[in-house]
Amino acid sequence: MQPKYLFGSVTRIAGLRERDFEVRPVPRADWDGGDYVVGEVIQPVRGGLCIELPTGRHAEPMIGDLVVGALGHRAATLEMTGDWHAIGPDGRIDFLTAAGVVGRMSSKSPFLPDPIAGRYRGHVFVEGRPAHMHDYAIRAEVEHELQSPVVLIVGTSMSSGKTMAARLIVRLLRHAGLRVAAGKLSGAGRYRDTLAMRDAGAVADFDFVDAGLPTTVCSAERYLAAIRPLLSRLAEVEADAVVVEAGASPIEPYNGDTLMRLLGDRIRCMVLCASDPYAVMGIMHAFDRRPDVVTGIATNTSAGIQVIEKQVGVPALNVQDPADAPRMLEILERCLPCLPVDASAPAGR
């Protein structure tokens, strides 16, 4: 009888819960990022840590549980860093994200609990072959050019309010009558981020996991090879607008800068989510680009809004405040030719 497994949400593209598979150790020299692996939880799980399941629900693992995840690399400035390359001969592993990214932690914030600790039990084999995320990634049978205008949401750091902004902007555009697609195309995020955009009204939603990447800390070449078919699939949706979130910050090693170059002049509106008013100037200087609007944590109070507007001369607003919805819609109307002028905004969130 097959043992009971917990499946991290990075496995959702492979449907491993519904497949027969074996678990076998693989020589260390044959490992690669994106390989599906099994780890046994070896310590009590504390601090409310959990594994995000393929449905987006959470499960708190216990000692002895077998968790299926994928080898990957995380470089979070505010939380944790780690890499699968650092896994030693003893097979000791850490779950670097709730989604099931597997590696060995190298550093973490003192405000976080230790990650879920495990021991490598083997690679997942399907039909006699090691299973890798790219085996189940989106493919483009025919390449389509994305023509839809893009609202790009970037941040000055992780946890700056990007997914919240994406969700609310999708909702605004849907209420204005547009057909909206959405995607989180860089980062080390969780499935809940993409689900939030779907729940807000996106008719189609994708993320880098759909492209076969556990995180987007990888070479630009590998990133582009994975993301281009996903953009082609987005083009097939024929959306009036596409809301794209670039995880973390474009100056971090998640290929956010690569994504910006790839999208190019399809970016019609750039929304910058700032964790600090002064970080806005840093992003503008690094990319020599002026955002169309600033939101995020730095705009939670009128003091933050005033500093941003005074120092950089860019509109700043709190997208969570229903009173700011008409102003946000005005900015979107100016940037997106597809948006009807004077489209009515919803009164609340």
Task: CATH number of the domain at 174, please.
Answer: 3.40.50.300
| 132 and 15 housed in the same domain | yes
How many structural domains does the chain have?
Answer: 2
Taking the C-alpha atoms of residue 48 and residue 137, their distance in angstroms, rounded to an integer, is: 31
> In terms of domains, do 10 and 81 share one?
yes
- The conformation of residue 316, written as its DSSP 8-state character, comes to B
The answer to whether residues 232 and 178 belong to one domain is yes
List Cβ neighbours of 148 (8 Å cut-off, separation of 6 or more).
Answer: 181, 234, 235, 237, 238, 239, 240, 241, 242, 266
Q: Of 76, 101, 136, which closes a domain?
A: 136
Per-residue confidence (pLDDT) for residue 285, from 0 to 100? 87
For residues 261 and 185, the answer to whether their CB atoms sit within 8 Å is no
Cβ neighbours of residue 97 closer than 8 Å, sequence gap 6 or more: 72, 74, 188, 190, 215
Residue 2: its pLDDT value, please?
Answer: 59
* Same domain, yes or no: 125 and 158: no
259 is written with which tokens? 């994504």
Cβ contacts of residue 315 below 8 Å, gap of 6+? 292, 293, 294, 309, 327, 331
Residues 240 and 290 in one domain: yes
Residue 341 lies in a domain: no
The answer as to whether 155 is a domain residue is yes
Is position 142 within any domain? no
| Domain identity same for 215 and 272 | yes
Shared domain check, 159 and 122: no
User: Nearest to residue 302, comparing CAs of 285, 323, 288, 271?
Assistant: 323
Domain termination site, one of 110, 136, 162: 136
pLDDT (tens digit, 0 to 9) for every residue of the chain, 349 residues total?
Answer: 456 899 999 999 999 999 999 999 999 999 999 999 999 999 999 999 999 999 999 999 999 999 999 999 999 999 999 999 999 999 999 999 999 999 999 999 999 999 999 999 999 999 999 999 999 999 988 889 999 999 999 999 998 999 999 999 999 999 999 999 999 999 997 899 999 999 999 999 999 999 999 999 999 999 999 999 999 999 999 999 999 999 888 889 999 999 999 999 999 999 999 998 889 998 998 888 999 999 999 999 999 999 999 999 999 999 999 999 999 999 999 999 887 755 554 544 4
194 and 304 in one domain?
Answer: yes
Domain boundary among 114, 136, 158: 136
pTM for this entry: 0.93
Whether residues 27 and 124 fall in one domain: yes
Do 132 and 155 share a domain, yes or no?
Answer: no
State residue 344's pLDDT score: 55
349 domain-assigned: no
Strands (E), 96-235: 101-108, 116-126, 129-130, 150-155, 180-186, 204-207
Strand 241-246 to strand 180-186: parallel, antiparallel, or no bridges (unpaired)? parallel
144 within domain boundaries? no
Parallel, antiparallel, or unpaired: how do β-strands 58-59 and 51-52 relate? Answer: antiparallel
Range of the domain at 193: 150-335
160/131 same-domain check: no
Per the DSSP assignment, residues forming a β-bridge with 246 are: 186
